[in-house]
Structure 1
Amino acid sequence: MVEKKQNAATRAKEKYNAAHYDQVKFVVKKGGRDTIDAAAEQAGMSRNAYILKAIKEKMERDGFDGYLDFAAEEG
């Protein structure tokens, strides 16, 4: 297996992200990502910020009172 060479800044960012963030993967049908991207762009947000905002709003509507810090991701 060929290992990609990365610069120090990239390695530092990846190390920081691994220590401070969880990653969640989900799957949509072909074309779904483009639809999400278009909606996010229309809202002036990144895809990630748009999805996080949607999740947070749904959780609040459902009365979930747990702590999730989305502040860093909202746009």
Structure 2
Amino acid sequence: MQERKNKTSDSQKKAVKKYLSKFVDVKIRVTAEDREQIQYHAIMMGESMASFIKRAISETMDRDRPK
């Protein structure tokens, strides 16, 4: 059997690890139906689901701030 070569260099792995260390995961539970609706809306807006959710949170927080 032929050995597979690792196509990701050590420097790439290090760079990805450094980049990801700047972030934390936030998890929510939604029904499959809600996920489908969120994903559909995000696609219709030309966004990924993650970018749509971040935008929705940001806009809501801006709106909720006292004037």
- Whether TM-score is above 0.5 comes out as yes
Deviations 1:25-66 (A, max 9, x none): 0010122211111000000101001000000011001107xx
| Structure of greater relative contact order (alpha carbons < 8 Å, 6+ residues apart) | 1
Instruction: Choose 1 or 2 for highest CA Rg.
Output: 2
Q: C-alpha distance in 2, partners of 1:6/1:33?
A: 34
Question: Number of paired residues?
Answer: 59
Runs of 4+ in 1 over 4 A off after TM superposition: none
Matched with 1:54 is: 56
The structure with the greater share of residues assigned to helix is 2
Taking only aligned residues, the RMSD between alpha carbons, in angstroms, comes to: 2.2
1:30 aligns with 2:32: yes
What is the TM-score when the length of structure 1 is the normalising length?
0.64
Unpaired segments ≥5 residues, structure 1: 65-75
Unpaired segments ≥5 residues, structure 2: 1-5
